Amino acid sequence: MSKGRILIIEDNEDNFQLVRFLLERDGFEVISAVNGREGVETAIREKPDLILMDLSMPEMDGWTAAQKIKAEPETKAIPLLALTAHTLPGDRMRALEAGCDGYISKPINVEYLIKTVSSSIGKARKQSD
Ligand code: MN
């Protein structure tokens, strides 16, 4: 079994490349979307094992996209982690209120990223058994 297929929704190319590199190096498959609107469409079409999502994005921000993904029966069980440079507790609270299951802070702590992604996928697989 693959370690998991992860959808990264991120408008910043450098951030995307970094997270992709770290995940692929650890054996995950990565697919991508560059804004919230495309992210929602890709999530529904591809049914990834986990979604990592930036919050500040053009077209549709991450908070709105999180609400849509969690309102959709086909995608609501997919673990969704906000990828956020927002250091204010209020922004993280908003992400959780929008339906995110947790968040990963930028700058990325590599060990925390891999550990959190792995355990979130593990938990979701156990629940769907
Ligand atoms: Mn952004």
- Report all structural domains of the chain as residue ranges with CATH numbers, in order of start: 5-128 (3.40.50.2300)
pTM of the predicted structure, to 2 decimals: 0.95
Give the helix/strand (H/E) hosting 16.
Answer: helix 13-25
CA of 81 to the centre of ligand 1 (A): 14
CA of 72 to the centre of ligand 1 (A): 23
Q: What is the pLDDT of residues 62-108, one digit of tens each?
A: 999 999 999 999 999 999 999 987 666 787 889 999 999 999 988 89
- Near ion ligand 1, which residues have CB within 5 Å? 11, 54, 56-57
Sign of CA dihedral 74, 96, 42, 36: positive
**Ramachandran bin of 26, using left for φ above 0, alpha for ψ from -120 to 50, beta for the remaining angles:** alpha
CA of 60 to the centre of ligand 1 (A): 11
On the question of a cis peptide bond just before residue 48, with omega within 30 degrees of 0, the verdict is: no
For residues 92 and 47, give the distance between their C-alpha atoms in angstroms, rounded to a whole number.
Answer: 25
CA of 101 to the centre of ligand 1 (A): 19
CA of 11 to the centre of ligand 1 (A): 5
3-state secondary structure of 104: strand
Residues 6+ apart with CB under 8 A from 125: 49
Residue 120's pLDDT band, with cuts at 50, 70 and 90, is very high
For residues 68 and 20, give the distance between their C-alpha atoms in angstroms, rounded to a whole number.
Answer: 24
Question: E strands, the chain, where?
Answer: 5-9, 29-33, 50-54, 80-84, 102-105
